[in-house]
């Protein structure tokens, strides 16, 4: 294990940010800490980096107990949401910072910085100040700066949170490729489930200071351990008191042994897909289907249809009572 967090609890006054959290992160993995704002995921990342001290529990990094170590001696790279660029230093000096602190020879620093600037495609901006870069470029600079000291683990706190959608998507793909190239254990915090599913090998879902579930994106999506995980990772609706994904429901013109009768309340066309809001036994639910299916069934508001689940292998999750 590259990072082993055991029974960590962290309180801020009366607020419990982390409640007996244990997570193991394997060497070389790309892990997402996913959860809603205020759920404790950033606090966990900061505890790993040594920027927060846990009230209880231990943190192990690369086999050594780091619980009592200051951030300076943990050999972690940390990337902040708002870049934390050193505003008075050029891009080159920003990237060189950790190496200069470690008093590496000048030519070694120069070579390493050149290498990293090339890796993050900023070689032509080496002599600019951070204020002369775009947000995406600043974040790439921050990444190069964190990687310069060859950290045991790379920690990113909502690294794309301050960027617009287009740049966000680009940087996401780029982080994935960079991880495959550099091969450093990487943990990033996000509240965007799509981002976590797209980039990470493994996702740790954190809510209210506790770990809800750990697993691969597919495991979490197909076999969520709780109603919270299921609804956080994708759209949900409920049929007969059971939570299901709207695309795992099928509409039929005539009933069979597994169907439930329903009435169409509203149809919404969203490009190639159709969202059908239904009513079954007094309960609202919605179904996601393709345009062709909707046309074949001749759906219109007020029409009667029959609904059934088409994902027999998915473990059922009980819908909340009431």
The stretch near another protein (CB under 8 A) out of 57-65, 144-152, 224-232, 282-290 is 144-152
The stretch near another protein (CB under 8 A) out of 143-151, 199-207, 266-274, 301-309 is 143-151
Q: How far is CA 314 from the centre of its chain?
A: 23
Phi, psi values for residue 315, rounded to 5°: -65, 130
**317-318 and 273-280: which strand pairing?**
unpaired
Q: Does residue 135 touch another protein according to CB under 8 A? A: no
| CA neighbours closer than 13 Å in the CB half-sphere of residue 200 | 29
Q: Which is nearer to another protein, 110 or 308 (CB)?
A: 110
Q: Does residue 258 touch another protein according to CB under 8 A? A: no
Q: State the nearest-atom distance from the C-beta of 190 to another protein, in Å.
A: 18
6-45 mask for another protein (x: CB under 8 A)? ----------------------------------------
Q: State the nearest-atom distance from the C-beta of 130 to another protein, in Å.
A: 10
As a whole number of angstroms, the distance between CA 63 and CA 72 comes to 17
Q: Does residue 82 touch another protein according to CB under 8 A? A: yes
The contacts of residue 77 (CB under 8 Å, 6+ apart) are: 146, 147, 149, 151, 153, 154, 155, 184
How far CA 307 is from CA of 240, 258, 263, 284, 301, in Å, comes to: 10, 8, 10, 12, 15
**Looking up tokens 């956080």, which residue turns up?**
232
As a whole number of angstroms, the distance between CA 36 and CA 39 comes to 6
Tokens of 19: 């409640």
Q: Which is nearer to another protein, 154 or 239 (CB)?
A: 154
The stretch near another protein (CB under 8 A) out of 71-79, 173-181, 203-211, 225-233 is 71-79
**Size of site (CB under 8 A) for another protein:** 29
Q: Which is nearer to another protein, 117 or 274 (CB)?
A: 117
SS3 104: coil
Q: Does residue 78 touch another protein according to CB under 8 A? A: yes
Q: Does residue 162 touch another protein according to CB under 8 A? A: no
Tokens of 232: 């956080």
93-132 mask for another protein (x: CB under 8 A)? ----xx--xx--------------------------x-x-
**304-309 and 249-252: which strand pairing?**
antiparallel
Phi, psi values for residue 208, rounded to 5°: 50, 35
Q: Does residue 76 touch another protein according to CB under 8 A? A: yes
Q: Report the interface residues with another protein, using CB under 8 A.
A: 49-51, 70-74, 76-78, 80, 82, 84-88, 97-98, 101-102, 129, 131, 142, 145-146, 148-149
């Amino acid at each position: 294990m590259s990072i082993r967090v055991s029974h960590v609890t962290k309180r801020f006054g009366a607020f419990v940010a982390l409640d007996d959290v244990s997570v193991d992160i394997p060497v070389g993995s790309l892990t997402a800490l996913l959860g809603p704002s205020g759920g404790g995921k950033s606090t966990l990342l900061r505890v790993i980096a040594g920027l927060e001290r846990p009230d209880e529990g231990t943190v192990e990094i690369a086999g050594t107990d780091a619980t009592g170590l200051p951030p300076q001696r943990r050999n972690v790279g940390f990337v902040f949401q708002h870049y934390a660029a050193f505003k008075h230093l050029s891009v080159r000096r920003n990237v060189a910072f950790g190496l200069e602190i470690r008093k590496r020879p000048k030519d070694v620093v120069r070579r390493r910085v050149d290498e990293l600037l090339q890796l993050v495609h900023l070689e032509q901006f080496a002599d600019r100040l951070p204020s002369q870069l775009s947000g995406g470029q600043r974040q790439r600079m921050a990444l190069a700066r964190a990687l310069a000291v060859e950290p045991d683990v790379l920690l990113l706190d909502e690294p794309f949170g301050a960027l617009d959608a287009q740049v966000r998507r680009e940087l996401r793909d780029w982080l994935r490729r960079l991880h495959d190239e550099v091969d450093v254990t990487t943990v990033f915090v996000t509240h965007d489930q799509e981002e976590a599913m797209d980039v990470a090998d493994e996702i740790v879902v954190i809510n209210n200071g506790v770990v809800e579930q750990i697993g691969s994106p597919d495991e979490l999506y197909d076999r969520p351990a709780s109603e919270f995980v299921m609804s956080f990772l994708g759209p949900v609706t409920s049929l007969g008191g059971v939570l299901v994904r709207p695309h795992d429901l099928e509409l039929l013109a005539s009933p069979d042994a597994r169907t439930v009768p329903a009435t169409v309340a509203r149809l919404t066309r969203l490009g190639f897909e159709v969202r059908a809001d239904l009513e079954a036994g007094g309960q609202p639910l919605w179904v996601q289907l393709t345009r062709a299916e909707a046309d074949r069934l001749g759906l219109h508001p007020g029409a009667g249809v029959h609904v059934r689940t088409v994902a027999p292998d998915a473990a059922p999750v009980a819908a909340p009572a009431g």
